[in-house]
Amino acid sequence: MTFRKEVSESDATSRPKPRNSGGLLGLLAFAAAVISFLYVGKWLVVEDPLDRAQAIAILSGRMPERALEAAKLYRAGYAPEVWLTHSIEPGKSLKEMGVEYFGEEYYNQKILLQQGVPAKAIRVLEPPILNTADEIVTIKGALNSAPLHIVIIVTTKPHTRRTGTLWRILTHDASRAIVRAASRDPFDADHWWRSTRDALDVVREVLGLMNAWAGLPLVPSQAR
């Protein structure tokens, strides 16, 4: 009896103790979360190489940066036309209140003209849009009637990845989109958490990408 007890105690002391794998996994998960937090701003910014296209399309929002970039690309000879979309809101709501509203496309046209784009090269696309997905469908429809199925889409820096993702999902790559960011966009990809505007952009784009990957079950109520 004594011998068996001694052997049992010896085995217990010589047996290796289990490692704290849970703590290690937690540390790795924390490190991954920190890296993702720091890198997500850069990850959102994706631009395609420039090439000649049928038109340069300006997504709605963030005047005047997007229109200025489109004008620069037009002057560089990348496309013979600049396309604008026009949003349903807030024009519809303001009209119901009896308040005159010219629309974002009106001011974008003014910017383009001031930047040297001739009026005959500016085209406002139909129908009116509510969000980026609507804009993609509208731009794709305009391309269908032309021989060159390439468009340069101008947006802001953090919106580039979602724009490209939506294009692939909604058009099935039937046409080619060259997504470009407005060079004057002040978005700080390296330190996006330092300003409210950049932080809101990152949160909105990450959620928008998740919605796109899920098959667009959620429909935004206003244009980006």
What span, in angstroms and rounded, lies between the C-alpha atoms of 182 and 108?
14
- How many residues are given for the chain? 224
pLDDT at 62 over 60: yes
Instruction: Tell me the domain boundaries of the chain.
Output: 43-183+192-213
Question: Picking from 22-31, 110-119, 161-170, which range would have the lowest pLDDT averaged per residue?
Answer: 22-31
pLDDT at 182 over 50: yes
Structure tokens that stand for 42 in this block: 């850069």
Under 8 Å between Cβ of 167 and 177: yes
pTM equals 0.83
Nearest to 109 by CA among 73, 77, 83: 83
Q: pLDDT exceeding 90 applies to what percent of the chain? A: 66
Q: How many CA atoms lie within 13 A of 150 on its CB side?
A: 12
Q: pLDDT exceeding 70 applies to what percent of the chain? A: 81
pLDDT, position 99? 78
pLDDT at 27 over 60: yes
pLDDT at 18 over 60: no
What span, in angstroms and rounded, lies between the C-alpha atoms of 133 and 212?
9
What span, in angstroms and rounded, lies between the C-alpha atoms of 80 and 93?
34
The per-residue pLDDT for range 122-164, each reduced to its tens digit, is 999 999 999 999 999 999 999 977 777 899 999 999 999 999 9
Under 8 Å between Cβ of 159 and 69: no
**Residue 109: count of CB within 10 angstroms of its CB:** 20
**Domain 43-183+192-213 is of which CATH architecture?**
3-Layer(aba) Sandwich (3.40)
Average pLDDT, the chain: 87
pLDDT at 10 over 60: no
Q: What is the mean pLDDT of residues 43-55?
A: 97
Q: What residues form DSSP beta bridges with 87?
A: 129
For 128-149, b/e burial (b = at least 16 CB within 10 A) is bbbbbbbbbebbbebbeeeeee
What span, in angstroms and rounded, lies between the C-alpha atoms of 102 and 110?
12
When mean pLDDT is compared over 33-42, 98-107, 134-143, the highest value belongs to: 134-143
Query: What DSSP character marks residue 84?
Result: E
pLDDT at 223 over 50: no
Under 8 Å between Cβ of 54 and 146: yes
Q: What is the mean pLDDT of residues 29-45?
A: 82
